Amino acid sequence: MNIFKIVVVAALVLSALSLEAKMPKNSYACHVITDEQEIGIAFVQADELAIALTEALGRSAYVAENRSQATAQVVECVVVPGNRLSDPIAQQLLDNIPR
């Protein structure tokens, strides 16, 4: 009887581990235009750039002065750390976000 209980518990633990969500492999910083037409930065975790571009739309984006607004348009996403946004104003905003 005890062996049966151990096998059941082990099976439950193994099944729970296999159902655990896996974190996407990349972190992206996305240069966005907000619904109030401001430049913003949205952060997304995704396995691929195409997914990051889609996920950033509608996300809350960091804009100047520690404010946030909803994303209306995605301009560009880059893997961070290690890459830079092509727009210098968006890159400066990203550089100044407290982390």
Phi, psi angle pair for 77, to nearest 5°: -130, 140
Residuewise pLDDT in 10s, the chain (99 residues): 566 555 445 555 555 555 556 888 999 999 999 999 999 999 999 999 999 999 999 899 999 988 999 999 999 999 999 999 999 999 999 999 987
Residue 4: φ, ψ to 5°: -60, -45
Using a cut of 0.85, tell me whether the model's pTM lies above it. Answer: no
* Integer Cα distance of 19 and 73 in angstroms: 34
